[in-house]
Amino acid sequence: MILQMTRAVQGGLRQERKLDIIANHLANSDTNGFKGDILAFDDMFKANLVTDHSQGDLKVTDNKLDLAINGNGFFKVQTQLGIQYTRDGNLTVDQNGTLVTQNGDPVLGNNAPIVIQGTEIHISQAGEVIVDGDAIGNLDVVTFEDLTRLKKTDKSMFRYEGDAGADEQIPQNVSVEQGSLEKPNISTTIEMVEMIQTHRMYEAYQKMIMTFDEIDSKAILELGRP
């Protein structure tokens, strides 16, 4: 009975964890470049959170400072916590002319902030930044062989656990699309269906726990009788 109770409790906790993931997905259904998470289990049935790095659909905005990566890769960003990586290309120019994220973090090109002094901005599919007809640098678009080392620090921001400088790679068959943004790689419809199914499973495990608890209570009462 103890084994059955343990399995029911573990099952309920897994469903509760899945509900948390689904809630986070739904909360970020409009977050540019957001990547969904998958609950995976190892040989010991320990739950591990794995990020799904598949590409989301691209949406056209016609904003010259909106950039989307078509293919594998991440923009390189200088944050207060060090170098981080993102696929959210909703960029802007700060008061100093620096190309930054919406959080004000500089986006890097040739491992340095990109300073834009001009009005006509064109960014080629190769990531070359051209201002008023003059090329001023190339966006740093990088990837890694082991994407599991990328850990979320914010909705669409990642830090790399390891020697990023040594492990960064130049992705192949990748283009930077100016005037577009990447949508989240999750489906609201699928998430809603998953939420209903997971909630039903959670309730089923809760009923199992209550049933086992009642059986144990009755057994204890029977043992206590003369």
Domains held by the chain: number: 2
Q: Are residues 13 and 122 in the same domain?
A: no
Same domain, 169 and 198: no
pLDDT the model gives residue 66: 98
User: pLDDT tens digit string along 169-190?
Assistant: 999 999 999 999 999 999 999 9
Q: What is the mean pLDDT of residues 157-172?
A: 96
Statement to judge: residues 137 and 192 lie in one domain = no
What is the per-residue pLDDT across 8-37, written as a single tens digit (0 to 9) for each? Answer: 556 667 888 899 999 999 999 999 999 999
Query: 72 and 19 share a domain?
Result: no
The two most distant CA atoms of the chain are separated, in Å, by 96
Q: What is the CA radius of gyration of the chain?
A: 24
Same domain, 91 and 149: yes
Domain that holds residue 8: 2-29+187-224
Q: Please check whether residues 191 and 204 belong to one and the same domain.
A: yes
Q: Are residues 90 and 163 in the same domain?
A: yes
Residues 19 and 63 in one domain: no
Assigned domain for 46 exists: no
Q: Place 65 in a pLDDT band, splitting at 50, 70 and 90.
A: very high
Residues 23 and 86 in one domain: no
